[in-house]
Amino acid sequence: MAAGIQENIIRTEYSEIMQKSYIDYAMSVIIARALPDVRDGLKPVQRRTLYDMYELGIRYDRPYRKCARIVGDTMGKYHPHGDSSIYEALVVMAQDFKKGLPLVDGHGNFGSIEGDGAAAMRYTEARLQKITQEVYLKDMDKNVVDFVPNFDETEKEPAVLPVRIPNILVNGADGIAVGMATSIPPHNLGEVVDGVIAYMKNNQITTKELMKYIKGPDFPTGGIIVNKDDLLSIYESGTGKIKIRGKVETEKGKNGRTLLVISEIPYPMIGANIGKFLNDVAALVETKKTTDILDISNQSSKEGIRIVLELKKGADVENLTNMLYKKTRLEDTFGVNMLVVADQRPETLGLRQIIEHHVDFQFEVATRKYTSLLNKERENREIQEGLIRACDVIDLIIEILRGSKSREQVKNCLVNGVTEGIKFKTKTSMRQAAKLRFTERQATAILDMRLYKLIGLEVETLMAEHEETLKKITSYEDILNNYDSMAAVIMEDLKKIKKEYSHPRKTAVENAAEIIYEEKKVEETQVVFLMDRFGYARTIDTSAYERNKETADAENKYAFICMNTDKICVFTDAGRMHTVKVLDLPYGKFRDKGTPIDNVSNYDSKTEQIVLVAPLAQIKEEQLCFVTGKGMVKQVDGNEFEVSKRTIGATKLGEKDRVVMVQPAAAMEHLVLQTRDGYFLKFLKEEIPVQKKNALGVRGIRMGEQDLVEHAYMLENRIEYVITYREKQITLNKLKLAKRDTKGTKVRI
């Protein structure tokens, strides 16, 4: 170590370093990325993008500019993150189906309500909306907000925008931080303005009284909020769940059929969930949950949502509508969590608290604005008074100008009355000049004044301007010194904003009755289950099966009669049982292909093989015999498999073991196990214990370490079983009867 340099090693716990680092990271994500500021309702990326557009001069009354230019400039100056995050924020601010009040005017493909993404930023263009410029970015030149250094301290950016409406309520917000998330619904601009004005008139107003003005959220997609009574607790606590339903209307279609038209959707349905809704409705038709729908068509366009369901004649419209609310996302939930950054820390606020923060911010902005304006008018007054006084002694000033050698000499005379070095025509002029006491600012204005200002009309204009300046000073001082005056100015401003930019409410708010949907009882009937060797399953009518029985049995691995209300049990070599409702299987003609069993169950053909498919009605009436590759055997009562879950463990398996056989054991008298090395063991059914499904079983046959059970055969009384083993005919009934857990007999070839 170099002499003079003192070693300074700080020893600390690694866990403490990790904790501190993670907290720093979490706070950075919370404050600087994910959560909006309660004052302007914007996340940093939104604020920086809007400010950059303002700085680039991309105003509402000027041409559009490429989004790539906006994104690149924002990223280079203010937001050192990925360009995709900036462009996504820009796109969302332009989408009128996501924002109650779009802040960006997009030109080009900015995505659709159905989840289509926006075109690449090199194709799209944008500019500020008029409201953004007039309400969000106005007065930036009047020192109304603090400016802070950007990430590399080469630029200045606003810490917050001087937004004059509660944007956090009007546009809502959503974001996921570390360990917390925000979800604030959008509201109607006119209602929010009325609520703010009501609070300013009475800051003791309650949340319930505020809700006389702010009825509830107003989603850009419309819809109907059906739990009005829950809104009060949601607005008081800042958390809760809002139930929203789509708007359903009926129209007359062709041939006297009724059309069910969905013209408004729940806000959470926007995007890919519209496609999911259409698929869910199609699934209801395919699974015979309803037979009233003949056709589904999505006729939505830029004009709005229009999803049309064509119904058959005599359809129960009310019950079908209730089924759509119950079985699809036509009724959905919006989770409210009004988490924002307030005073540099995350906080969950209620409606009244948000408005309180907004009003405090407006008074702060107005104070800074009118202080700036007052200072400017005081400067104007000082200059105007100097010019008016100069007009009265203009001849003396001209004499000073003509007798001086430099601008500084003249200025020194006007400000301090210093006459040395100036040639005057008379001593009287010198004495008068020595009495001049203009201010620095007045002297500069006099020296910069042009001669035409001495015209009589110009002097009168100057006097009028002075009078106007005095009035403004009086007005600004009154606003700054009087709470009521400042409140009146803010309220007047809000009324103008409401008049120009508000729109009628789109979302209805009401208390609706709980949906009552009576599911039609399925008429119980016999069907035939068919599944081929490729795993395609279907059901057909029993008469169709009888007509084609020979072909059906030859072409299908499994074919049996079951009830349409039953379940099918699929046992696999992985020791699992998957269940499928018979009603979930396609029902059709004999030559229909069917659907893969993977599609209607949790069965995975890549990791497991089917060893038994049987109806639950048969399974639960019997005992099942299980045989595994490592020779474990047991019987299980079929009632254990009558469960509600779609997948359960059918048996417990040892390490690297697989199920070889599962079969109903009612008719079994003997069990024969055949191993890979050619050993056969025949023993009585009575030696196989009945155990629980989660039991491992008992050893059926003793084998070498590398040997495995390949096949198991169940022998019934008085039925001869002949198999071919390595081209040799073996009658299983003639095998020597032995005891379970013995080695068995090796078949010689």
**pLDDT tens string 671-683:** 999 999 999 999 9
Q: Count Cβ atoms below 10 Å from residue 86 Cβ, excluding itself.
A: 25
Q: Which has the closest alpha carbon to 213: 225, 230, 226, 201?
A: 201
Token look-up 């109806």 returns: 615
What is residue 54's predicted lDDT score, i.e. its pLDDT?
A: 95
Token look-up 């050893």 returns: 699
CB-based contacts of 344: which residues, under 8 Å, 6+ apart? 31
Distance CA 458, CA 492 (A): 35
CA dihedral 376, 382, 385, 388 (to 10 degrees): -80
**Size (the chain), residues:** 749
- CA angle 655/661/662 to nearest 5° reads 105
Do 331 and 515 form a contact (C-beta atoms < 8 A)?
A: yes
- Output the CA–CA distances (angstroms, integers) from residue 114 to 55, 156, 656, in the order listed: 34, 39, 48
- The burial class, CB within 10 Å (0-12 / 13-18 / 19+), for 259 is middle
Q: Which has the closest alpha carbon to 391: 457, 441, 310, 469?
A: 457
| DSSP classification of residue 685 | G
Q: What share of the chain is helix, strand, coil (3-state, %, to 5)?
A: 40, 25, 40
Residue type, 682: K
Do 36 and 175 form a contact (C-beta atoms < 8 A)?
A: yes
Distance CA 187, CA 358 (A): 15
Q: Count Cβ atoms below 10 Å from residue 598 Cβ, excluding itself.
A: 14
Distance CA 550, CA 553 (A): 5
Do 117 and 271 form a contact (C-beta atoms < 8 A)?
A: no
Scored b (16 or more CB within 10 A) or e, 444-453 reads: bbbeebeeee
Task: List the catalytic residues.
Answer: 123
Three-state SS string across 445-485, please? Answer: HHHHCCHHHHCHHHHHHHHHHHHHHHHHHHHHHHHHHCHHH
| 567 beta partners | 581
What is residue 449's predicted lDDT score, i.e. its pLDDT?
A: 82
- Which regions of the chain are under pLDDT 70? 1-6, 26, 28-29, 32, 453-454, 456-457, 517-521, 749
For residue 138 the two structure tokens come to: 């106005």
What is residue 749's predicted lDDT score, i.e. its pLDDT?
A: 65
Strands of 104-107's sheet, edge to edge?
Answer: 65-66, 125-128, 104-107
What is residue 676's predicted lDDT score, i.e. its pLDDT?
A: 92
* Cα of 310 vs its chain's centroid, Å: 32
680: part of which helix (H) or strand (E)? strand 679-684
CB-based contacts of 603: which residues, under 8 Å, 6+ apart? 570, 572, 578, 597, 610
Q: Which has the closest alpha carbon to 329: 284, 287, 286, 266?
A: 266
| DSSP classification of residue 523 | P
Token look-up 């049995």 returns: 553
What is residue 718's predicted lDDT score, i.e. its pLDDT?
A: 83
Q: pTM of the prediction?
A: 0.74
| 579 beta partners | 569
Q: Is the dihedral of CA 519, 523, 524, 530 positive or negative?
A: negative
What is residue 4's predicted lDDT score, i.e. its pLDDT?
A: 52
CB-based contacts of 500: which residues, under 8 Å, 6+ apart? none
- The burial class, CB within 10 Å (0-12 / 13-18 / 19+), for 620 is middle
What is residue 592's predicted lDDT score, i.e. its pLDDT?
A: 85
Long-range Cβ pairs for the range 323-327 (8 Å, 24+): 323/284, 323/289, 323/290, 323/517, 323/519, 324/248, 324/281, 325/245, 325/515, 325/517, 326/515, 326/517, 327/280, 327/284, 327/289, 327/517
